A and B are shown apart, each in its own frame.
Chain A
């Protein structure tokens, strides 16, 4: 398993390993570039966080200063004005459902692709790989009509099924590379003991391919949580809006309560940031496993 990233140890130049303080010109430039990227990336986020604790008056007059007195009321207003809790719940339902459906369907397919040789295997794998590159929203209207036809529009389950389908190519690619790394002898010994194929997948592959499944789940969760276009086009009733669509609609509701708007943004952003920070190692290892390659 590729959980550990092999580091380039032992190739650091003597200078950098012995005297850390005396930086060379190259190191200074390198440091500056990295800091510049840090500022550009972090500044709007820090600004949003700080602004969420300011009064609207402060935001208008001194956008760059720290709040004089933290206005926690902004968060109370944000929850009250947006009714954000309902859309939060909707997003959680869609995301959770879609992650489970997507991961299990992808697991079954990936297992078959990794373990068996059968006609059409190559074609099918190529088809799924190309799926990653297709801009799905080009078929916005046909997808809407298909969803209508199957009575999946305006339903959280429907949205979850659509997301599961859209995420399949990526999930299958990642999982099949994980499963290929598991020695087939393990499944075979279970087969000799009389286990059916489904039992092998559930009882043996799921625990061993666990890191891959976590990765797939996280990537799918990020996608579902953040998806906007289909959630907007397919869901018409306000009670079923997901968080992202709710954001789009509640922006106008704040009028001149900028502090409240920033607080709402922080609330919308925070859950995934926390999830990412907890699970970042498995995301990074997923991206390093070489699964994503053409």
Chain B
């Protein structure tokens, strides 16, 4: 038998690498982000303390509001369209229709394919000259609806949403697994009481899924706030900033060496994310059991 001290040393040494990496690449950058947003920093060297000047500038920046509105619209789509669609698909798959495993595999594929490659594919799909959308419209005689989709002022953002909103595989898989783990007795009891298939889903399955749905919405929103490459490749904010988001805008500001303003936008992104996630957790009352 080894001494007790041996165990203590092991605990410290085993957790240390994870803590160091987390500190260096999560905590330190987040701290630096907040601190530097209070300084002038438009060249290589950091300038003087300017207090909240960057924040004043941000709240007077029209593009910031467009980006914020788009992030909000994206997040609302997550909560009210994307996850509900995933839930519908999960419920349908849980009845195990013929080929359900094949369907689950295909639905999941978009999550394995890189956003970068997808962005190039979508750019082609929406391409005005040889794109899939316009070719389909032309072949059914709706030529007048053809347009340069990703550069149309009204259609650009809806098209961006379209590129991911039907990719429900990841969350459908998570929800499906949760549904399949529900004890059968509940369904048997409901069946004995004369509940129809649909009633079973509404009164038994969905209430049991509340926590998991909440988790999915939170993960989905967090992923959306992180989303960058697709927008960068497809439109880079065009047309007329209609497809700008905070993640994209902060990158563009960084390219212009507006360093501290980019960091201010980073703080806004963090704050906005935290706010949304708190709202979801509060509204759905999830997470109380764990923390």
Contact = CB atoms under 8 A, between A and B. Distances in A.
A and B assemble together? yes
Interface of A: 5-13, 16, 26-27, 30-31, 33-34, 37-38, 40-45, 47-48, 51, 59-60, 63-64, 105-106, 108-109, 111-113, 116, 118, 124, 126-128, 131-143, 145-146, 161-162, 164-166, 168-169, 172, 191-192, 194, 196-198, 201, 222, 225-226, 228-229, 233, 243-244, 247-248, 251, 258, 261-262, 265, 268-269, 272-273, 275-277, 280, 283-284, 287-288, 290, 292-294
B76 interface: no
A273 B114 CA distance: 10
A112 B109 contact: no
B29 A139 contact: yes
26 contacts: A8-B182, A34-B92, A37-B107, A45-B113, A48-B124, A105-B21, A106-B18, A134-B273, A135-B222, A135-B269, A135-B273, A137-B228, A138-B273, A140-B254, A140-B266, A143-B25, A164-B21, A191-B1, A197-B6, A226-B115, A269-B114, A276-B108, A280-B108, A287-B177, A288-B178, A294-B291
A26 B109 CA distance: 27
Q: Closest 6 A-B residue pairs measured CB to CB? A: A288-B177, A139-B29, A109-B18, A138-B266, A142-B29, A165-B25
Interface in B242-259: 246-247, 250-251, 254, 259
B15 A261 contact: no
Contact of A112 (B15, B28, B33, B188): B15
Interface string B107-141: 11111111111001110110001111001100100
A162 B28 CA distance: 13
Interface string B165-185: 011111001101111111010
Interface string B77-106: 000000000001100111111000001111
A276 B112 CA distance: 7
A196 B226 contact: no
Contacts of B225: 135
Contacts of B160: none
Given A109-B17, A229-B251, 12 more contacts: A8-B180, A8-B182, A13-B197, A33-B89, A134-B222, A134-B270, A138-B267, A143-B29, A172-B18, A198-B10, A228-B116, A288-B176
Interface stretch (B51-59, B62-70, B145-153, B210-218): B210-218
Nearest to B273: A135
Q: How large is the interface on B (under 10, 10 to 19, 20 to 34, 35 or more residues)?
A: 35 or more
B14 A108 contact: yes
Given A60-B130, A292-B174, A41 B109 contact: yes
Contacts of B97: 27, 30-31, 34
Given A8-B187, A41-B169, A284-B177, A146 B122 contact: no
A118 B11 contact: yes
Contact of B215 (A124, A247, A277, A293): A293
A139 B268 CA distance: 11
Contacts of A222: 111-112
B114 A41 contact: no
B2 A196 contact: yes
A133 B269 CA distance: 12
A64 B136 contact: yes
A30 B92 contact: yes
Contacts of A198: 10
B123 to A, nearest CB: 8
Nearest to B86: A37
Given A197-B14, A222-B112, A11 B21 contact: no
Nearest to A5: B180
A236 to B, nearest CB: 14
B129 A294 contact: no
B228 A228 contact: yes
B142 to A, nearest CB: 14
A133 B218 contact: yes
Contacts of A229: 228-229, 232, 251
A140 B174 contact: no
Nearest to B185: A11
B68 to A, nearest CB: 14
A272 B112 contact: yes
Contacts of B93: 34
B225 to A, nearest CB: 4
A45 B121 CA distance: 8
B219 interface: yes
A284 B225 CA distance: 25
Contact of A280 (B25, B88, B105, B270): B105
Contacts of A41: 106-107, 109-110, 166-167, 169
B184 A11 contact: yes
Contacts of B247: 135, 137-138
Contacts of A233: 251
A192 B1 contact: yes
Contact of B226 (A47, A63, A136, A287): A136
